[in-house]
Structure 1
Amino acid sequence: MKASAFVYPWDVNGDPEAAGRIAALGVRQVTLAAAYHSTRALTPRHPRHRIVTAEHAAVLYPTDDRWRDRELRPRAAGDWAPGDAYGEAAQALADAGLEVHTWVVLAHNSRLGADHPHTSVVNAYGDRYPWAPCIAQPATRAYLTDLAAEAAVRPGAHGTELESLGWYGLAHLHAHDKTAGVALGEAGQYLMSLCFCPHCRAGYGEQGLDADELAAAVRAALEPLWRGTASDEGWADVEKLLGEDNAAATRAWRDTVARTLQEAAVGAVRAAAPHGFQVLLHADPVAYHCGANAGVDPGHILSVADGVVVPCTGGPGPLTPFADQGRGVLAANFTVVSGMGGSPATLAADAARARDLGATELRLYHAGLASDADLELVRAAL
């Protein structure tokens, strides 16, 4: 199977050996960040630094005139990725014989939430999630769609992988995270991720719900969870806690919002891209899930994009609903950094199981973050 390794520009720029070292792993492709969220990242082999602190969400290339005079627009990176950091790294990787695809993070942006608080998801208690833009808001949707097209179609790129193209919610390591004190389960995560900004309140109204009554119902449904009595039966718990009709109405609104945004963003990328440009989404087959791997309907998303990248570090089971569709690229994503819960020592066996479940490609997270020992295990496996 074709394998691609995730890489940041700062893993490559300033390290003349980086591109060749990645190529020597045996991968044919790299997925290189072009637009990324704030992070603190280890660079264990770089000759000039060991820690890179990306202080805010940023694009890692110079933007064009489409953003002129717009309130919502991407921000340039600081000294962690100055100028056309993406382009510099992409050229070095291509010179090493690697096919470069862009990696574009969309609805995960704490800088947007800090600069424009009204764009953020608001939960049933009135708390804002500044890292999570509400994808129902027209201006936010326009911003994300244009960002997808610009960041995805960089010079020389053969394809893109769009991350967090859907609802973001509570589950996110925001700064020094302190939210694990109560086990919320899938139902609690869903209820705490429902948005009650003005656009979503109007959207619930279109589904026949009174937004104030729904917010009260959500708060009441969460009370047993705060007392530590959460179960983990997925959507059945949401229906039990919120009521089947309320639950179905929230899904109807949120699913429509996510699907139409995915269609618009992928369409914008295709319109800007050359023929043969591959468009993949980081995806979860459970449509009500929130996060970097956006919850999707497998049949719908594979009618929109060329394929999906599916998290498989916890096991390859999530591949099955996509494989059942019988079409598209199906990339199994494995963490190969031991310190982040990955298992590079079992990569060959894990990849074989993924292939048996329908995977056509591999993704390896993350060539820049892994130790030398982890990378040696990856090289041997490939």
Structure 2
Amino acid sequence: MDFALWAYPWDLLDEGVENVATRLEEIGVDEISLATNYHSVQPFLPHNPERKTFFAHASSYFQPDESRYGRLEPVSNETMGEADWLAEIADAIADTHLSLNSWTIGCHNSRLGMANPDLTLTSPFGDSLAYGLCPSQPAVQEFLCGLLSDLSERAPFDRIELETFDYFYGTGFGWHHDKYHVDLGTLGEFLFGLCFCEECQATAADAGIDVEAARDAARDGLSACIDGDLPADASVAGWLQMHPELADYIAVRTETLTELYADLSAAVGDDIDLGRYAGFFEVEDAWMHGADLDALAEHLDYYTVIDYESSRKAAVQRMRTANRLTPDIPLHAGVLPGHPAIDDSATVVDIVDGLADAGAERVSFYNYGLLPERNLDWIGAATQPYR
């Protein structure tokens, strides 16, 4: 079994890439999955020697090649300035035992969304959901393909891993300080986050969908959630069965995303493995992000199942669910060996053993800079039997 750690560039540079590599060798980790294009963030950094937090707008941590982009292009991080952190890290890692992966955020980009509201997810009521670019938009598709093409030629990546290359997380919320005092439930949040931008509507209309009826159904369902006429625990799938016009509208965007992934795969080429994260909420709810896991698998080399569970049983069950939904693609796993998922070393060891027994080919741990030193030692205990 292989082991990786997700990491932010500032942690590697503040501590020194060679020092980080030495620490990771001690705990049995051979890969770094580096944040290269990322959403807005404020992490707490318990062992960083230079700072205890870092504020960043949605940014790239490299200097983009403008020729690869159209209307949209990544914005380099302000703290990085004219430097190129990816290039610095790639050069330094070349002299270590570590291999390098790109951890790449796609549509979750509030900076670009605020500047281009017509390219964002648009609620059934016409609100621009600025945290999320809509992957139905041709300009967004061009941006995503350009980003992967740019990254694939910029550093010797073994893998490029995709996060939020979809219609976000099946919810209408994704800002830093979401505030709402209505219990919308999963159904209400899902309906609020359904995209009715001009491009989504046009694509659905071309497929023969009654777009107005679909939007009316979404609005009426959300209003019923607000008024308390639909219970907060109402089943999303069950409710959609009673509103086939909206279910058909949703199916169109699933086809759109599958077609986009063929282009993403072509942008990366054959020399770098292309992976996607699955299961930030429930693995079986990937369709709520517009993702048919089995269809997308045709254009991917593996999935990493986000398995931030607190017990071996729960972690293994998520892997089994993913394997049932998409049985013909390798599965990796992501583990959070710390707060709020896990409180002790023995649980990390038990979960990793369970994932190995369940057939996981690789485990990634979240996240080098966010974990205290003792938690890094827990990772070492979990990897020891597999070295």
Q: Fold-level match, TM-score > 0.5?
A: yes
| 1:33 partner amino acid | A
Counterpart residue number, 2:296: 301
d(CA) in 1 for partners of 2:153, 2:323: 27
2:218, 2:254 → 1: CA distance?
18
Q: TM-score, normalising length from structure 1?
A: 0.89
1:221 aligns with 2:259: no
CA contact (8 A) 1:124 1:194 kept: yes
Q: Partner residue of 1:15? A: 15
Q: Which amino acid aligns with 1:38?
A: S
Q: Does 1:313 align with 2:281?
A: no
Closer/same/farther in 2, CA of residues 269 and 343 from structure 1, 3 Å limit? farther
Unaligned stretches of 5+ residues in structure 2 = none
The residue that corresponds to 1:115 in the other structure is 115
Aligned runs of 1:92-107 on 2, under 5 Å?
92-107=92-107
CA contact (8 A) 1:337 1:366 kept: no
Look up the equivalent residue of 2:140 and give its one-letter code: T
Residue of structure 1 in register with 2:252 after alignment:
253
Query: 1:236-315 to 2 correspondence within 5 Å?
Result: 236-240=238-242, 243=243, 245-270=244-269, 275=271, 277-284=272-279, 285=283, 286-290=285-289, 296-314=291-309, 315=314
Deviation at 1:209, TM superposition (A): 3.3
CA contact (8 A) 2:120 2:128 kept: yes
Matched ranges for 1:1-382 at <5 A: 1-16=1-16, 17-54=19-56, 56-67=57-68, 70-80=70-80, 83-168=83-168, 170=171, 172-179=173-180, 181-228=181-228, 229-240=231-242, 243=243, 245-270=244-269, 275=271, 277-284=272-279, 285=283, 286-290=285-289, 296-314=291-309, 315-316=314-315, 317-324=317-324, 325-338=326-339, 340-343=340-343, 345=345, 346-382=347-383
Shift of 1:203: 2.2
C-alpha contact 2:66 2:73 (8 A) present in aligned 1:
no
Q: What percentage of aligned pairs have identical amino acids?
A: 26
Cα offset, 1:104, TM superposition: 0.8
Contact 1:23–1:96 (CA under 8 A) maintained in structure 2:
no
Q: Which secondary structure state, in structure 2, belongs to the residue aligned with residue 52 of structure 1?
A: coil
Instruction: Measure, in 2, the Cα distance between the counterparts of 1:81 and 1:151.
Output: 19
Structure 2 residue matching 1:281: 3-state secondary structure: strand
How many Å separate the matches in 2 of 1:81 and 1:262?
A: 32
Going from structure 1 to structure 2, the CA distance change for 1:81 and 1:22 (only over 3 Å counts) comes to farther
Where does structure 1 differ by over 4 angstroms across 4 or more consecutive aligned residues?
none
The superposition leaves residues 77-120 of structure 1 with CA deviations (integer Å, 9 ceiling, x where unpaired) of 11157521122223334433111111111111011111111111
For residue 365 of structure 1, report the CA deviation from its aligned partner: 0.7
- The residue type paired with residue 367 of structure 1 is Y
Which letter maps to 2:330? Answer: V
Q: Report the secondary structure of 2:182's partner residue.
A: coil
For residues 104 and 208 of structure 1, the distance between their equivalents in structure 2, rounded to whole angstroms, comes to 34
Pairwise CA distance, 1:172:
4.7
CA offsets per residue over residues 266-295 of structure 1, 9 Å max, x none?
Answer: 22111xx6x3x21111124434223xxxx5
Cα RMSD for the two superposed structures: 2.2
Contact 1:62-1:84 at 8 Å conserved across structures: yes
In 2, Cα distance between equivalents of 1:164 and 1:206: 26
Which letter maps to 1:260? E
Q: 1:306 to 1:33 in 2, by over 3 A?
A: same
Secondary structure at the residue paired with 2:288? coil
| 2:374 counterpart SS class | helix
Quote the Cα distance in structure 1 between the aligned partners of 2:104 and 2:190. 24
SS, match of residue 129 in structure 1: strand
Structure 2 CA distance for partners of 1:173 and 1:249, relative to 1, 3 Å: closer
**Which stretch of structure 1 is more off in the superposition, 35-44 or 164-173?**
164-173
Find the aligned partners of 1:209 and 1:88 in 2 and give their Cα distance.
50
Residues 59, 75 of structure 1: 8 Å contact kept: yes
TM-score normalized by structure 2? 0.87
Identify unmatched segments of 5+ residues in structure 1: none
CA distance in 2, matches of 1:21, 1:201: 51
Q: Is the 8 A contact 1:19 1:92 kept in 2?
A: no
**Number of residues of Structure 1 aligned to a counterpart in Structure 2:** 367
Q: Is the 8 A contact 1:4 1:30 kept in 2?
A: yes
- 8 Å CA contact 1:93, 1:100 repeated in 2: yes
Which one is further off, 129-138 or 249-258? 249-258
